[in-house]
Each structure stands twice: as C-alpha cells, then as structure tokens.
C-alpha cells in the first residue's frame, strides 16, 4: 500500500482558471513550510518552466541556482496535472508524485491533490523528520490544505473585477 496524502478544496472559479492559477501563478500562492523544504537553501520561488527534457517544476533560489523538483508527467489544462516530486536529499529510487485534478462542480471547481509514493522514503529520512507515518502524512496534508487555500485566493482574485463582480 502506498503512503499518500489526499486533500480537496472547492474553489468558486472555472477549472481552466484554477489550473492556470496553479501553474502560471504558483509563485504567487505557494508558501514554504519550514518542515517541508526542497533544499537546505530553500525557500526559493516556484515555477513551471521548459527545460532540457520537457516541462518541469523548479524552485529558483536567491543565489540564482535552480533546483528541479520534478518533471511534468501529465499536463491537461483544466483537468489534470501530474508532476514528479523530490527533495535534494532523496536517494535514487525515492520517488514521490503529485497529481492535481480539477473537477467542474456546480459552483466552480473541486481541486484534489494526491501526493503519493511516500512509502519510497524511509521514516528515518530527514524529509519525514522521523515522524510516524500517520503523523507525517497528517502534517503534510495540512500543508497542502494551506497551499490550496492560497491558490483559492489567487484564482478568485484574478477572476473578480471591481466590487467582487466577475470579470468578463
């Protein structure tokens, strides 16, 4: 059985708008967490960008260095995004993956994040802080929930015009 985190949130914006906010505006809503950093020099600025071998998720550090978090494995605007996810301290074979689904619902979009593959990272690894599986997954899920709430603010803010009216 795979150790995974699943978090969902409804956002009152169309799926394509939420997808665009997630991918194009990630630097606006992504907030680092001191427990979950990619490198010892984090935090940096998150971005999706073209690179050698295709589209990737990166963290641009203040030093100018770029850390590749993972390669994009699926890019389906308004529907689904899948990206590999690693930290600098991950050994070969330690592979986690984030799948984000954008489902149209009556009043907007249900965004579901599934971060799976944590069973490939030993409990004693620095990325897991020696937390027991249940506690680690709960804390990681809380962080993803906070991130999605930031995404909602950005998606709604860009969609609304003056006085909260929908922009056309």
DSSP secondary structure string, 117-149?
A: -GGGS-TTSGGGTT--HHHHHHHHHHHHHHHHH
* Range(s) of the domain holding residue 13: 4-32+72-159
The answer to whether residue 67 is domain-embedded is no
Cβ atoms 33, 46 nearer than 8 A: no
The answer to whether residue 90 is domain-embedded is yes
The reported pLDDT for the residue numbered 98 is 97
The answer to whether residue 41 is domain-embedded is no
The reported pLDDT for the residue numbered 48 is 96
The answer to whether residue 16 is domain-embedded is yes
pLDDT along the chain (168 residues), means of 10: 87 97 94 63 84 90 90 98 91 92 97 94 81 86 94 84 48
The reported pLDDT for the residue numbered 7 is 97
Q: How many domains does the chain have?
A: 1
**Separation of alpha carbons 84 and 48, rounded Å:** 12
The reported pLDDT for the residue numbered 1 is 43
The reported pLDDT for the residue numbered 73 is 97
The answer to whether residue 23 is domain-embedded is yes
Count CB neighbours of 144 within 10 A: 21
- Provide the CATH number for the domain around residue 115: 3.30.530.20
DSSP structural state of residue 27:
H
The answer to whether residue 37 is domain-embedded is no
Cβ atoms 110, 10 nearer than 8 A: yes
The answer to whether residue 164 is domain-embedded is no
Confidence (pTM): 0.87
The reported pLDDT for the residue numbered 130 is 78
The answer to whether residue 38 is domain-embedded is no
């Amino acid at each position: 059985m795979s150790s995974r985190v699943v978090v969902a949130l409804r956002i009152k914006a169309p799926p394509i708008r939420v997808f665009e906010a997630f991918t194009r505006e990630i630097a606006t809503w992504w907030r680092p967490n001191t427990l979950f950093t990619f490198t010892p020099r984090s935090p940096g600025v998150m971005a999706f960008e073209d690179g050698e071998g295709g589209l990737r998720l990166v963290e641009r550090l203040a030093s100018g260095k770029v850390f590749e978090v993972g390669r994009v494995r699926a890019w389906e605007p308004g529907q689904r995004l899948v990206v590999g996810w690693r930290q600098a301290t991950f050994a070969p074979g330690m592979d986690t993956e984030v799948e984000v689904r954008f489902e149209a619902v009556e009043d907007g979009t249900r965004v579901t994040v599934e971060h799976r593959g944590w069973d490939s990272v030993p409990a004693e690894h620095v990325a897991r802080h020696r937390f027991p599986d249940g506690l680690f997954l709960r804390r990681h899920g809380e962080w993803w929930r906070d991130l999605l709430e930031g995404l909602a603010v950005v998606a709604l803010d860009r969609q609304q015009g003056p006085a909260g009216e929908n922009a056309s």
